Amino acid sequence: MKLLALDTSSEGCSAALWLDGQITERFELAPRGHTRLLMPMVRELLAEQGLKPSDLDALAFARGPGSFTGLRIATGVIQGLAWGLDLPVVPVSSLAAVALNAIEEHQLSDGSGVAVAFDARMSEVYWATFACRGGLPVLQGDERVCHPDKVSLTESDDITGTWFGAGQGWKFQSDMPEAVATRMASVDLSLVPRAAHVARLAIPEFHAGQAVPAEQAQPVYVRDEVTWKKLPGRE
């Protein structure tokens, strides 16, 4: 199984290659460098393994939520590759990718809860909660965007251990409800989406039949598009 995964949903830019269970990745924090860096990363990864794009079996990308501009970059590249190579695509949640990053980086055990928060601008956060099951994040409830004082934890039979906070949106922890902020055993603001975690999540979804054709590989913004358009100075 050969799968190429991309992420440009945050200030990080990354590409990863899953090759029969082994992952290689290129990653760089470059808020304005996604367009310049992404394709060279892809070419390097393939060349390193002696592969051509036509050798790939599938593609994956972080479909959001995240940076509007960043999401469009990865979506455009993925759609171009998928159409040109006639390959299926697995869209993966950026929030889930960070939850997996937290699970692996901090060795969270099954039953742990992971609350992921991204800075959504406009005094809001992208928010989702996950349960750790079999070393993977399982979404509890829905992904949403809201003011930090509106976030909440999902009570679930899947979550029997402690809660962990992940993502840069936790810089607003002081604005979050006390019932949320005080439940966190620890918080890691440094975690951002990475293509390696997108690839790890994409593999089981691919085998579960969750891949889509190129035209259905679309970004997920979560934010209400009408609200976005109403901002002063926006068209």
What are the C-alpha distances in Å from 24 to residues 14, 97, 224? 11, 16, 36
Q: Tens of pLDDT along 31-87?
A: 889 999 999 999 999 999 999 999 999 999 999 999 999 999 999 999 999 999 999
Confidence of residue 224 (pLDDT cuts 50, 70, 90): low
What are the C-alpha distances in Å from 169 to residues 1, 9, 129, 180? 35, 14, 13, 13
Q: What residues does each domain of the chain span?
A: 2-94+193-229, 95-188
pTM: 0.94
Q: Mean pLDDT of all residues in the chain?
A: 94
36 vs 28: CA distance, rounded Å: 11
At residue 123, does pLDDT exceed 50? yes
Which token pair is 43? 């070419």
Is-contact 39 26, C-beta < 8 A? no
Q: Which amino acid is at 4?
A: L
Say what the pLDDT of residue 31 is.
85
197 vs 182: CA distance, rounded Å: 28
Q: Tens of pLDDT along 191-202?
A: 999 999 999 999
* CATH fold for domain 95-188: Nucleotidyltransferase; domain 5 (3.30.420)
Q: Tens of pLDDT along 59-74?
A: 999 999 999 999 999 9
Say what the pLDDT of residue 223 is.
80
Kindly give the pairing relationship between strand 12-19 and strand 22-29.
antiparallel
Say what the pLDDT of residue 78 is.
98
Q: Give the bridge partners for 59, in sequence order.
A: 4, 89
Within a 10 A sphere around the Cβ of 183, how many other Cβ atoms? 15
Which token pair is 219? 């970004």
Q: Tens of pLDDT along 85-118?
A: 999 999 999 999 999 999 999 999 999 999 999 9
CATH of 2-94+193-229, one of 3.30.420.40, 3.10.620.30, 3.90.1150.200, 3.40.50.1110: 3.30.420.40
At residue 227, does pLDDT exceed 90? no
Which residues contact residue 127 at a Cβ distance below 8 angstroms, ignoring those fewer than 6 apart?
A: 95, 115, 116, 117, 143, 144, 145, 146, 151, 169
Is-contact 212 89, C-beta < 8 A? yes
Q: How far apart are the first and last CA of the chain?
A: 44
122 vs 147: CA distance, rounded Å: 9
* Half-sphere exposure (Cβ direction) of 19: Cα atoms closer than 13 Å: 14
Q: What share of the chain is helix, strand, coil (3-state, %, to 5)?
A: 35, 30, 35
Q: What is the mean pLDDT of residues 149-163?
A: 95
